[in-house]
Amino acid sequence: MSFSGKVVIVTGASSGIGAVTAEAFAKRGAKVVLVGRNIANLKTTETACKAANPNAELLLIAADVTVDAERIINSTLEKFGKLDVLVNNAGILAYGNILDIDVEQFDSILNTNLRAVFLLTKLAAPHLIKTQGNIVNVSSINGLRAFPNASSYSTSKAALDQFTRCIALDLAAKNVRVNAVNPGVVVTNIHTRAGLTKEQYANHLRRAKETHALGRVGTTKEIADTIAFLASDEASFITGATVPVDGGKHAMCPR
Ligand code: NDP
């Protein structure tokens, strides 16, 4: 898989799956646009990308995807002149029963996980048509299956899956592919950022041995490599797909 000369935007490149995805593209020769809010963490990802490929051309954009979509696309075009791949990875998680959560949680999750993806997709699409590029959205097992105490997040990801399929059809005639990955549990900052205590998180990871058929959680690299595959020419006949990268979790049913 080579992305030599390709321009790739990765949102949420300052942490977790996005950081390792940026590195995966840099390693394969892409010019990578690293988008995130935490500048210090973006710089850490920059260092990792340079370590993976000292010749990697990188652009760091400190931005909030919920308000800066236009600036993200414009800065990319100003710096690199085109766009080949958009990875919509930035996302947030929050927990809570419908009896306890408020509409602010719902709005903030939908705003980040769905509305920002709509905006970035709309602004990127004309440029992806020019390059015959593609989009990879980072959804979740929560898009494919229902879980208690995670309705806002799961709804945002289920909607993202449907958005992926619809935009794949909208852009198919223009030969622009649109796919999603649906990770199972992967060790990143997302769960503690959502409010899990250290102990709750350790318990969540312990339980993952039973909730994932392969008996373990996934790695950021396993997700990043699948994203890179879907974005590559090797996946040229794949569009509208939501690909579970979850150790078989989607195939399981409690008994
Ligand atoms: P992290 O919390 O480690 O990283 C989230 C990233 O999203 C950070 O880089 C963060 O940037 C960025 N981000 C969040 N909100 C915004 C915003 N408004 N503007 C710009 N950037 C933003 O989580 P993960 O790496 O785990 O999450 C990445 C994606 O993977 C998410 O979409 C998540 O839903 C999905 N996922 C994760 C799973 C897991 O188990 N880890 C499982 C299934 C799906 P910053 O820190 O700079 O604010």
Q: Catalogue all structural domains in the chain, each as residue range(s) with its CATH number.
A: 7-247 (3.40.50.720)
Q: Residue 254: what pLDDT? A: 85
With DSSP H G I counted as helix, E B as strand and the rest as coil, what are the percentages for the chain, rounded to 5? Answer: 50, 15, 35
Q: Residue 92: what pLDDT? A: 98
Provide residues with CB under 6 Å of ligand 1. 11-12, 14-18, 36-38, 41, 64-66, 89-93, 112, 138, 140, 183, 185-186, 188-190, 193
Q: Residue 1: what pLDDT? A: 87
How far is Cα 18 from Cα 12, in angstroms, rounded to an integer? 5
Q: Kindly give the distance from the C-alpha atom of residue 13 to the centroid of ligand 1, in angstroms, as a whole number.
A: 8
What's phi and psi for 165, nearest 5 deg?
Answer: -65, -45
Q: Residue 106: what pLDDT? A: 98
- Tell me the pTM: 0.99
Cβ neighbourhood burial of 55 (10 Å; 0-12, 13-18, 19+): exposed
| Cβ contacts of 117 within 8 Å, gap of 6 or more | 88, 137, 160, 163
* Atom of ligand 1 lying closest to residue 41 CA: 47
Pocket perturbation via mutation, ligand 1, pick of 15, 147, 187, 191 by most ligand atoms within 8 A of CB: 15
Tell me the catalytic residues: 153
Q: Residue 255: what pLDDT? A: 82
Q: Which of 44, 195, 173 is nearest to 109 (CA)?
A: 195
All residue ranges of the chain with pLDDT < 50 are none
Q: Residue 213: what pLDDT? A: 97
